[in-house]
Amino acid sequence: MRRAIALSEVSVKNGGGPFGAVIARNGEIIAEASNKVTIDCDPTAHAEVSAIRLASKRLDTFDLSGCEIYTSCEPCPMCLGAIYWAHLDRIYYANNRSDAAAIGFDDDFIYKELELKLEDRSTPIINMMREEAMRAFSMWQEKDDKTEY
């Protein structure tokens, strides 16, 4: 956790957001990253997502079971989703989302949006061309040599 916090401080000094993350397995650091949203002009370049990408490349797998993530702040909804998709075993965090909101990083809006019906969300979500898109789902379902995830 100290390394994740140190990364968050370095990130601020380098022009990034105040967030750092470390992924470890059996006490060994596999990957570490800091927030580079503004540095890379990438809204997905959160510390947790970046650390997951690096760990997956290093271990040559999309399944990070057996690993844990240490993050300087409670993960936002996007990062939390990525953590679950990566199958990390445990999440440790330092600052919480209220601490983040107090300095202008308010993820509560997204948490509230997720609770709403699609038609009640602030950004319109419109279903279209479902039948055409179902072909790929059928192809996947029938594929014998697919890699499940």
Active site residues: 48
CA distance 99 to 5: 14
CA distance 13 to 69: 23
CA distance 70 to 90: 9
CA distance 5 to 34: 9
Q: Which residues pair with 33 in a beta bridge?
A: 21
Triad 81, 138, 126: Cα angle to 5°: 55
Helix (H, G, I), strand (E, B) or coil at 76: coil
